[in-house]
Amino acid sequence: MSPLKTLLSILSLFVVLGLMAAVYPEGGISVGDYTLRFPALTDIFVKDDGQSSDSAGVAQADPEAALKEMLEATRQKEFAEFSDSLNFYEEFFQKGRTRFDLPNDDPTWFDRFFLHLELAEMDSTVVHIVHYGDSQLEEDRISSTIREDLQSKFGGNGPGMLPPILNTPSMNTSYWNNGDLKRFMVYATADDMATHNRYGILAQMAELNGNAVIGLKKRIERKDKFPHVGGYATIKVLAGNRGNLKLKLTYESSYQDSVGVNEDGTVKYKKKTKTVDAGAPQIEKMKKLAVYTWKLADTTSSAKINLSGNTDIYAIAADGKYGVAVDNVAMRGSSGTMFHKIDAELLAESYKAMNARLIIMEYGGNLVPGTSSKNIDWTKKIITKQIKTIQEANPNADILFIGPADMAKQVDGKWQTYPALNMTIKALREVALENGLAYWDMHRVMGGNGSIMKWVKKEPPLGFTDHVHFTRRGAAYMGDLFSEALKMHYDYFKFRDVHNINDAKLKEIHDYKNSKAKGAAQEKPAPKKASKKAPETKK
């Protein structure tokens, strides 16, 4: 059949059906107990008004429109809930005393670092946080608390990197050396500086000329404040890729030995230790750096390294299998103005070898006494130079600057905050933010000018009587405050991750919050103006 004939047949059928609908009785035709009905034309050709009817003829809303309305209501409810949570975080980010100052006030600044921490367990890697600073960090103060807090949350063990020669003892790791090692530091006086610039990641090194032994062991504390500082699973030696070096690592391994039978007939065990030879290390050689790595069969809290040869030794690292490590790099008397004096290529290779993803620069205290309006521009330039040096050596790391704490000197027999302290803090904050760094203001955290006097008078004291340095308790408190501020950003990171809040959705939530606030302001009735009365005349 041709298309034309097919069309005519269909039209004919519609005509017949239309005639039947027109002449068919409205009440139908009764056949016995049954009634035959035929739909009327008005039932067949109904104008679409965007609604449907149920069996009773009641108009129903368009399903698509209803679905859209429901989704929008759900979205509004979700946004309202998210808005409340965001208010909690943003209140801290904007007004919290322990908050971070961030470039462009961006609270997502730490996201890249947190991603590295979360991937550490999955990838069996250790993420290093290199904590540079002045004498406030000596004895592993502040760093040890940050380390313990972060290792408890993200995994990890060990004290991180230690210099080959540690002159100031650590309060949680017993560390010793003897033999043919000579120490050089880039931040020292001329007598203690090397004739080259190969100082490495810790801004110091030791020349090995012969034989030496380095030992490290977790200190046994009664209260065991730092349980994660032991349990080494990975040990590294960072050395120069020149000369020659032979290494041997031995460590203590714990085991249970049967020593008899208990009264109930069970085997009685006693914990014992044995010395284990770790075998040959894995060796990775770069242009200027050689990294020797042992992956231990058992974790240990006591190890000894025998060295022989002629080369530079930059660091000994004791870490866990994965997680986070915090390296305490205390430089007494340093203002942090010497990073540009370190061999740039060696520094870059070291950061890469140690997977350093966050660099903390805690300086300023040693700048304050000599700072004035005459040299503040020099201070900004020299600190900028150090930041640029680290950024070029490690572009994949984030850098956080911690400014000086409150510090005082005696003036006419009374303790007063250093006059140049606030000027120095302002300059350091500006330099940090201009160069993309986060800034943490210890001065503000403590309570501002005069707070060091209160810390010294605390019982027990949080500050020493020199009104500059923290006591161990004060340093631990400061470390906890820092960790809690960092965890607030991590909670914010997880909140956005769990609820799939990307930048676009975050903007929508803020727009919703702003529109609600604007609407509430418009609905608020204007205050009534007080009626003006004519002044009463005195009679």
What is the reported pTM?
A: 0.82
Buried b (16+ CB within 10 A) or exposed e, 375-409: ebeebbebbeebbebbeebbeebbbbbbbbbbbbe
Output the pLDDT for position 515. Answer: 75
Distances (CA, A) of 80 to 88, 108, 355, 512: 13, 21, 41, 8
Q: Report yes or no: 117 and 315 within 8 Å, Cβ to Cβ.
A: no
The Cα 144–Cα 460 span in angstroms is 20
In a domain, 338, yes or no: yes
The Cα 215–Cα 195 span in angstroms is 28
Which amino acid, residue 353?
A: A
Q: Report yes or no: 281 and 295 within 8 Å, Cβ to Cβ.
A: no
Output the pLDDT for position 538. Answer: 44
In a domain, 7, yes or no: no
- Residue 86's CB is within 10 A of a number of other CB atoms, namely 21
In a domain, 280, yes or no: yes
Mean pLDDT by 10 residues, the chain (539 residues): 59 66 67 63 54 54 64 65 84 96 96 96 95 97 97 96 95 96 93 94 98 96 83 97 96 82 80 92 97 96 98 98 97 96 98 98 97 97 98 98 98 95 98 98 97 97 97 97 97 92 84 70 60 47
Distances (CA, A) of 36 to 30, 31, 41, 57, 372: 6, 7, 16, 21, 106
The Cα 268–Cα 273 span in angstroms is 17
Going by C-alpha positions, the residue among 333, 323, 374 that lies closest to residue 150 is: 323
Output the pLDDT for position 144. Answer: 97
Mapped onto helix, strand or coil, the DSSP state of residue 346 is helix
Question: What is the chain's percent helix, strand, coil content, to nearest 5?
Answer: 40, 30, 35
Alpha helices in 57-185 (DSSP H): 63-95, 111-123, 143-154
In a domain, 190, yes or no: yes
User: Taking the chain, what is the end-to-end CA distance rounded to the nearest angstrom?
Assistant: 115
Domain at 127, CATH number: 3.40.50.1110
In a domain, 11, yes or no: no
What's the domain range around 150? 103-512
Which amino acid, residue 398?
A: D
Total domains, the chain: 1
In a domain, 139, yes or no: yes
Count of residues making up the chain: 539
In a domain, 431, yes or no: yes
Which amino acid, residue 522?
A: Q
The Cα 302–Cα 253 span in angstroms is 9
Output the pLDDT for position 254. Answer: 85
DSSP label at residue 123: H
In a domain, 532, yes or no: no
